[in-house]
Amino acid sequence: MIMLLPYAVAALVLSVIAGGLLSGVDRIVTARLQSRQGPPVLQPFYDVFKLFGKTHSVVNPWQVFCSFVYVTASALALLLFFMRGDLLLLFFILTIGAVFQVVGALTVNSPFSQVGAQRELLQMLTYEPILILVFIALSMKSGSFLIADIYRLEEPLLPSMPLVYVALGYALTIKLRKSPFDISASHHAHQEIVRGVLNDYSGPQLALLEIGHWLDVVLLLGICSLFWSTGVVGMIVLLAATYFVELVIDNVCARLTWQWMLLRGLCAGVILCVINLFLLYAV
Amino acid sequence: MNRLEKLQQWFNKRINEGRLKSPWIVHFDCGSCNGCDIETLACLTPVYDVERFGIINVGNPKHADVLLVTGTVNSRNRHVLKNIYDQMPEPKAVIAIGACGMTGGVFRECYNVLGGVDQVIPVDVYVPGCPAKPEAIIDGVVTALERIKVKLGLIEDPALSSGEAAAALEPVSSFTQTAPEKGVESEAAALTGESSAARSSAFDAPASDLSAAGATSAKETAAQGDATAENPAGETSAAAFEQEPAAQSETAGGTTPPAGKAQEHDGKTV
Ligand code: SF4
């Protein structure tokens, strides 16, 4: 596994670029769905570079610390993914990053940040059980939590666990900050709590969080790609289709409440996973 | 070492590029009649789609680069306005929208009204009109970027260079674009030279008195409305962004203060 480290580092650098481009394509497709023209595809990079050039205006030092921990955790989780490491370890690192983002938002007095942080915690409460169940399902098929073992499988996983994949879609929507689950912070500005959990990060800190977000998106898509681990073409088709469906859902849905998210999102995701696990066990 | 410096240079270049290509705005309604607010929000609709230029309405001063202010300043909301301005990290620009934002407009004589936005914070660009047209507001943001360029030292201050050069740098009023005519062009060059001087002097001395400009700009907007009536909106605003050397048509100055005011400024500050 350690042999893969140089490749994994290279892949990590590439995924920063890929994540930014994906975000740009996302904004263009979203604009087209709303019959607008949309920004240039490099727009996320312009945004991030601009943010790096802004003067520091932090409320307290914790914000700087938390933004660094967040981006480091996201990078480490992705590194572990590219090194074909342990899914559970990856999951915990991802959680640490997300928690520190919330801690940073909780250290300031702004009510918008506070509400955003609470909502972010609720979002984590929703997607983490689903992710764990997805990992359990993956390990039931491959025999271990190592990603390397999944790549050793002869057949793609999707036909045997479509319901798990749908449940993973819930987690993906939450992590991507897409409607109807963009309750803690929205990419489209002007929410009732302004930018929610991101509200009081500004300038370079916000840029770091944005890069961390790109890495998270790449990681989540990577986890989706495990469901078609046997062929590159199938993998790309699956990811493109998944992402497009996410965008359509984002555009046809309104933002909903956290109660709705917990009830529908969590329950539906867990039930889908459990049904699929039973089917796997029975067959 | 050398390589490190090169990397740093590259990084700085990208940062400056980003500053010009992603102006995030925060919009503050400082006691406007909502006419200008509606026009400002109209910029975000599919008809005008300012996201093409990377403009996002973030609604959060801590993330914003450009502050759009509509309406007059009064004794109560001046503190709010100042607070929002102070929360924005540098580099930043301020755009005063509408006759009210410029001078107080129709509310100027009210007992509680202090006047234009520049009574409280330094303003970079004035967008005349009652209400200002969405095209003019987009044009105002683009002109504010030119001001940021000057602040960053990327280009020379058009106010300091000759009138011709100033005209080449002015993107203003290209949304009222018609075929450029020779005679108009030179006249316009002089006009833009003056008006940008006015803007920069207003930037340096925010508390200057801008009397009687509301009426003039209102008249001007009426003229502008006629000129832009035939143009499909989406195309014209795109032209406003891409066209660099804007030849001025006779309805000059979408975002510049009227000529009379410009002279008044020159008289005061130079
Ligand atoms: S300029 Fe006119 S439209 Fe705009 S806020 Fe003032 S009165 Fe209203």
How many CB atoms are closer than 10 A to CB A71? 24
User: Measured between CB atoms, does A32 come within 8 Å of chain B?
Assistant: no
Are B208 and B118 within 8 A, CB to CB? yes
Q: Please list every residue in chain A whose beta carbon sits closer than 8 Å to the beta carbon of residue B40.
A: none
Contact B117 CB / ligand 1 (< 6 Å): no
Give the tokens for residue B203.
């930037």
SS3 B68: strand
Q: What is the C-alpha to C-alpha distance for residues A171 and A181, in angstroms, rounded to an integer?
A: 10
Is residue B194's pLDDT more than 80?
no
The CA distance from A38 to the nearest CA of chain B, in Å, is 5
CB contact under 8 A, A55 and B54: no
Contact B32 CB / ligand 1 (< 6 Å): yes
Q: In this prediction, what percent of chain B has a pLDDT beyond 70?
A: 57
Is residue A243's pLDDT more than 70?
yes
Per the listing, tokens 């904004």 go with A27
The mean predicted confidence, pLDDT, of chain A is 88
Question: Mean of the pLDDT values across residues A216-243?
Answer: 90
CB contact under 8 A, A39 and B16: no
B45-81 pLDDT, tens digit each: 888 888 888 888 888 888 888 999 998 998 888 899 9
State the distance from the centre of ligand 1 to the C-alpha of B33, rounded, in angstroms.
6
Minimum mean pLDDT range among A5-14, B26-35, B106-115, B248-257? B248-257
Q: How many domains does chain A have?
A: 1
Q: How many domains does chain B have?
A: 1
How many CB atoms are closer than 10 A to CB A283? 6
Is residue A15's pLDDT more than 50?
yes
Q: Which domain holds residue B30?
A: 2-269
Contact B166 CB / ligand 1 (< 6 Å): no
* Chain A residue with the nearest C-alpha to that of B44: A36
Which H helix or E strand runs over B125?
strand B125-127
The CA distance from A259 to the nearest CA of chain B, in Å, is 26
A179-227 pLDDT, tens digit each: 888 887 777 656 677 788 888 888 899 999 999 999 999 999 999 988 8
Q: pLDDT-based confidence at B157, cuts 50/70/90?
A: low
Question: Among B95, B113, B130, which is best to mutate for testing ligand 1, by the most ligand atoms less than 8 A from CB?
Answer: B130
State the distance from the centre of ligand 1 to the C-alpha of B100, rounded, in angstroms.
6
Question: Mean of the pLDDT values across residues B147-154?
Answer: 79
Q: What is the C-alpha to C-alpha distance for residues A123 and A179, in angstroms, rounded to an integer?
A: 12
- The residue among B109 and B224 whose pLDDT is bigger is B109
Q: pLDDT-based confidence at B165, cuts 50/70/90?
A: very low
Phi and psi based region of residue A203 (left: phi greater than 0; alpha: psi -120 to 50; beta: remaining): left
Residue in B35, B66, B61 with CA at minimum distance from that of residue B50:
B66
A95-142 pLDDT, tens digit each: 999 999 999 989 988 888 898 899 999 999 999 999 999 998 888 888
Are B258 and B216 within 8 A, CB to CB? yes
Contact B105 CB / ligand 1 (< 6 Å): yes
Question: Among B77, B100, B106, which is best to mutate for testing ligand 1, by the most ligand atoms less than 8 A from CB?
Answer: B100
pLDDT at residue B11 in the model: 87
B4-46 pLDDT, tens digit each: 899 888 888 888 888 888 888 888 988 888 889 999 888 888 8
The beta-carbon neighbor of A43 closest among B46, B54, B89 is B54
Q: What is the C-alpha to C-alpha distance for residues A279 and A164, in angstroms, rounded to an integer?
A: 11
Is residue B261's pLDDT more than 70?
no
- CATH number for the domain spanning B240: value is 3.40.50.12280
CA distances from B136 to A267, B47, B152, B192, B258 (A): 50, 14, 24, 16, 14
Contact B104 CB / ligand 1 (< 6 Å): no
Q: What is the C-alpha to C-alpha distance for residues B13 and A52, in angstroms, rounded to an integer?
A: 12
Question: Mean of the pLDDT values across residues A231-250?
Answer: 90
Are B136 and B144 within 8 A, CB to CB? no
Q: Which domain holds residue A167?
A: 2-282
pLDDT at residue A219 in the model: 92
End-to-end CA distance of chain A: 33
What are the DSSP E strand ranges found in B20-122? 24-29, 56-57, 66-70, 73-74, 93-97, 113-115
State the distance from the centre of ligand 1 to the C-alpha of B213, rounded, in angstroms.
14
B87-126 pLDDT, tens digit each: 998 888 899 999 998 888 888 888 888 888 888 899 989 9
Question: Mean of the pLDDT values across residues B141-167?
Answer: 68
CB contact under 8 A, B49 and A38: yes
Mutate to test the interface with A, among B8, B60, B151 (most CBs of A within 10 A): B60
Cα angle at B99 between B135 and B141, to 5 degrees?
35
Q: Would you call the peptide bond into B91 cis, given omega within 30 degrees of 0 as the criterion?
A: yes
The CA distance from A267 to the nearest CA of chain B, in Å, is 33
pLDDT at residue B259 in the model: 39
How many CB atoms are closer than 10 A to CB A152? 11
A145-170 pLDDT, tens digit each: 888 888 888 888 888 888 999 999 98
Question: Among B32, B37, B72, B74, which is best to mutate for testing ligand 1, by the most ligand atoms less than 8 A from CB?
Answer: B32
